[in-house]
Structure 1
Amino acid sequence: MATARVIIVGGGFSGTALAIHLARQSSTALQITVVEPRPTLGGGVAYSTPEPAHRINVPAARMQLSGEEQGAFDRWFRNQPECSLDSAAHCADGAVYPQRGMFGRYLAEQFAAAAKAHPQITLRHIQASAVAWEGEQLLLSNGEALQGDVLALAVSHPPPSLPRALRPFTSHPGLIANPWQHGVLDAIKPDASVAIIGSGLSMADVVASLGTRQHQGSLIAFSRRGQLSRDNLSGDWPEWTLAPQIVPTARAWLHHIRAEVVRAAEQQLPWQRVLDQVRVQGQEIWQSLPLREQQRFARHLRSWWDVHRYRIAPQVSTVIRQRQQLGSLKVLAARLDNIAAKGDRLAIALRLRNGSVETHHVDHLIVTTGPGHAALTASQPLLQSLSQQGVIRADQLGFGIDVDGHSHTLNREGQPNARLFVVGPAARARFGELMGLPQVADHAADVATQILEELQIAHAERCPPSAL
């Protein structure tokens, strides 16, 4: 029997986790190729950052590849020299929050270990980008053409989408459209005045990164609601059990969760335990909502959910709190009303929630509005190729790629493709809670199981797999 071939496009957490789960689950020969332009696997956008201020935003004990190995990363990190060298990683309650790059290194080691532990599996990494799907072949930026029985898309976080008002200023020296490009933050002088559009996790990372560069100038962060990501929970707290809720509307769930928070407070339990349990049930809750209610959630409640669900590490929270107390960081609920160039500086007019307008002259305006998920299918050549051919389509919520309940992509007509999968956050319009661990890890394991089942079906039918 010919060895089955699986191609995974994207070698961040989702793609690397899928490759590892395939190797662990397969009992027969299998060739797994991960196409990823970075030199090592596992990092992706989140975990390849070299910034020392960028930390995982949950304790290391909650980072894993699967539920069966809970605490594996925590144990691994505590055995690394960096654990003792990085004193800031340690919290008073005994939890550790390593720099994010450490988790990327851990994943790369797990990939290498999986290759050694399963000799019937060929695991390889091709350092290139996928550029097109043509004639049943995946074309790569290095000139290679790959053929596979299954293609899995593990592409999750496109580049930030620049707000329309800022597009005429792309060449202005004061505008930093992507703060994660190498060296751009290094050019900011310690006394420079900086405005940041966006007030979520990316903004927090920027403030922390500027802190390591001894920045002391004024900072203004603004977003429509002016909401900061909340602090993570410290200490050992009991689990919370949600009371039943059967009304499938976003409003009903909002009222229910608020009532649960009140009920928890009466028992001296913090709101974080309630939200953690909502997250655990997040996929079930999401899939119980009809599309119109999912759209209402995305339009009205998503930003509130994000700041409570995606919390910041205590080390980053400390930096933000200190700058607020010193008066060098202001967070405003405002939208950009106007922008003008004043030499190398920018004049930004911010319209506050009360209707008044404030004008600020700043040396830099940094964009931290997050990845442009709504434009994912047009964000890179391969997805453009598949979209133009009608092989994939964007989902109706603007979250990513449309899939069915088995993570098969849906084509232009809404028909599933048994040989083309999506793994990770790009599939969250279908599944719901699919941005943080362990949900992404569990999804990777589920997709691995589905892929192996599809390959067994194809073998049983004794016919070559159909074209993608």
Structure 2
Amino acid sequence: MTGTKAQIGDRPTVAIIGGGLSGAAVAWHLARLTPAPRIVVIEPRAELGQGLAYGTPDPAHKLNVPAQRMTLDTSDPLHFQRWLSSSEGPFLPAGSATLAGDIFAPRQVFGRYVAHHLRPFLDAGRIEHLRTHARAARREGEQYRITLATGEDLRADRLVLAVSHPEPSVPRGLRALTAETGLIRDPYAPDALAGIAPDENVLIVGTGLTGADIVASLQERGHRGKIHLLSRHGRFSQPHGPAQDETGADFTVAPERTALGLLRRVRRALATDAEGGLTWHAVFDRLRTQAPAIWAALPQGERRRLLRHLRGLWDIHRFRIAPQTHDTLLRAIAARRVEPIAGVVTDATVAPEGIALDLHLRGGGERRLTVDRVVLATGPAHAAAFEVTPVLASLEAGGTIRRDPLGLGILTTTEGNAIDAAGAAQATLLIAGPLARGAVGELMGVPEITARAEGIARKLAQSLPDAEAPLVAPDRATA
């Protein structure tokens, strides 16, 4: 059922604020585990499961990992791939598969896959989708009162926060453009790039996956103008590696207590693997799977140091680019349609001939650049989540949640329970998705988000009264 009417029933109510992948996955797993609760997802988008990542309609925006590694169910790694091959799976555009047979589908397709698997529960009334925003929330006794943008209130016995990624913050050197139409802050907003004329010169700030997506979109639209691709260090997201053996490195044995010690240990592991014929991918895959243990061993100050000095290196190796997008980017650079620049914008002004930008280059020196558009591709500003998300601000004002001190989102336990102003873990308030990653270090990829959603759903099912056996056997009725 989809609507905005906030009815109150006799069953315990689980309210999930945010219906992107994180919130949708929690709802799906909880509905499969127990019929006890009323599950209400508060999400203004028409379909659950899309969110920022999987709502983009642009076919040039591809998943950055192959289909066999994308799933809603960690016990079934090929769940998404089987759906793609089923009668319900959509027709994929040409070029979705590599010569090796790996499928890198458009990101919207994964959103459709998630929506497809929620549909039986929505149709049966097991999950309710309220198409509105949560304006505020507060703790009242053993329940939560959630005020919706419609003016109605919803009472819930359990609350899950799975709020969306905040849009990128405007870098200091570009703040003079904040109110200008020439600055595109959210490149994934509907028709965000539609106003860019084919011959306009464009500056993209950020050279990671989002920056590559924008280049691919503009190239697909026949863009002819110059594209300048700017980042502080001039680094790009790295491509996927070959099929190979796993590394012998184990970072959980006597884990490092400093960021510098971790860096040295990683370098030693890379050198050892290189001698054995392995690429760097094997070590970074191991770092990803062991990230919670690595993160847990680091004191808070060392976590901060790691984020400040090594996060950029981690991101370009961890978040790998789809081969098709990588090829498009390399061809555009080779043809000099795209110019990579390492540096920062120090000042920006609007002039008759366009947007005049002063750059400080990484190698030293200054440069003046004039463009027609500036597009931010610096990633979500998670540190600003409380400022731009009213429901978080209201819960913080009531002392129910706290900010993560590293600026990664919301302070939680390692299992996702929110920590209140007094430092107490909240048994009935859980945080799903990337805003909880400050407790575990790595919570941005689909495998981590799905595993976290499964864990939260289990905690909810175990804590609810009158919990029963699963109403739907795991992936029998919805695979």
TM-score, shorter chain, exceeding 0.5: yes
- Is the 8 Å Cα contact of residues 36 and 467 (structure 2) preserved in structure 1? no
Tell me the secondary structure at the aligned position of residue 194 of structure 2.
helix
How far apart are the structure 2 equivalents of 1:344 and 1:127? 43
How far apart are the structure 2 equivalents of 1:96 and 1:4? 41
Give the counterpart of 2:265 among 244, 249, 256: 256
Partner of 2:461 in structure 1?
A: 452
- 1:455: Cα distance to partner? 2.3
Partner of 2:187 in structure 1?
A: 179
Partner of 1:157 in structure 2?
A: 165
- Is the 8 Å Cα contact of residues 39 and 126 (structure 2) preserved in structure 1? yes
Partner of 2:419 in structure 1?
A: 410
Partner of 2:20 in structure 1?
A: 12
1:298-318 Cα shifts (integer Å, max 9, x gaps) = 110011100110111011101
1:30-429, aligned counterparts within 5 Å? 30-79=37-86, 85-114=92-121, 122-134=126-138, 135=140, 136-233=144-241, 235-243=242-250, 244-343=253-352, 345-429=354-438
- 1:458: Cα distance to partner? 11
- 1:82: Cα distance to partner? 7.0
Partner of 2:4 in structure 1?
A: none
> Where does structure 1 differ by over 4 angstroms across 4 or more consecutive aligned residues?
80-85, 456-459
How far apart are the structure 1 equivalents of 2:256 and 2:454? 31
When structure 1 is superposed on structure 2, of 262-271 and 243-252 the one drifting more is: 243-252
Structure 2: runs of 5 or more not aligned: 1-8, 469-479
Could you state the TM-score of these two structures normalised by the residue count of structure 1? 0.92
Tell me the secondary structure at the aligned position of residue 349 of structure 2.
strand
Q: Which has the higher helix share?
A: 1
What is the identity, as a one-letter code, of the residue corresponding to 1:111?
Answer: L
Tell me the secondary structure at the aligned position of residue 340 of structure 2.
strand
How far apart are the structure 2 equivalents of 1:424 and 1:176? 26
- Is the 8 Å Cα contact of residues 32 and 123 (structure 1) preserved in structure 2? yes
- Is the 8 Å Cα contact of residues 172 and 344 (structure 1) preserved in structure 2? no
- Is the 8 Å Cα contact of residues 205 and 378 (structure 2) preserved in structure 1? yes
Partner of 1:464 in structure 2?
A: none
How far apart are the structure 2 equivalents of 1:166 and 1:202? 18
- Is the 8 Å Cα contact of residues 9 and 155 (structure 1) preserved in structure 2? yes
- Is the 8 Å Cα contact of residues 245 and 256 (structure 1) preserved in structure 2? no
What is the identity, as a one-letter code, of the residue corresponding to 1:129?
Answer: H
1:223-272 Cα shifts (integer Å, max 9, x gaps) = 11111111123x53222232445332111111111221222222222211
How far apart are the structure 2 equivalents of 1:289 and 1:211? 43
Partner of 2:3 in structure 1?
A: none
How far apart are the structure 2 equivalents of 1:152 and 1:29? 16
Tell me the secondary structure at the aligned position of residue 95 of structure 2.
helix
What is the identity, as a one-letter code, of the residue corresponding to 2:319?
Answer: Y
CA gap 1:416/1:268 in 2 versus in 1, 3 angstroms: same
CA gap 1:107/1:83 in 2 versus in 1, 3 angstroms: closer
* RMSD of equivalent CA atoms: 2.1
How far apart are the structure 2 equivalents of 1:123 and 1:266? 53
Could you state the TM-score of these two structures normalised by the residue count of structure 2? 0.90
When structure 1 is superposed on structure 2, of 192-201 and 9-18 the one drifting more is: 192-201
- 1:274: Cα distance to partner? 1.5
- Is the 8 Å Cα contact of residues 23 and 115 (structure 1) preserved in structure 2? no
How far apart are the structure 2 equivalents of 1:155 and 1:22? 18
How far apart are the structure 2 equivalents of 1:313 and 1:429? 27
What is the identity, as a one-letter code, of the residue corresponding to 1:208?
Answer: A
1:148-195 Cα shifts (integer Å, max 9, x gaps) = 110000014112212233233233332222222222311112121111
Report the identity percentage. Answer: 37
- Is the 8 Å Cα contact of residues 432 and 453 (structure 2) preserved in structure 1? yes
How far apart are the structure 2 equivalents of 1:456 and 1:449? 13
- 1:2: Cα distance to partner? 4.8
Number of matched residues? 454
1:343-394 Cα shifts (integer Å, max 9, x gaps) = 2611111111222001111111111111110011222111111112221111
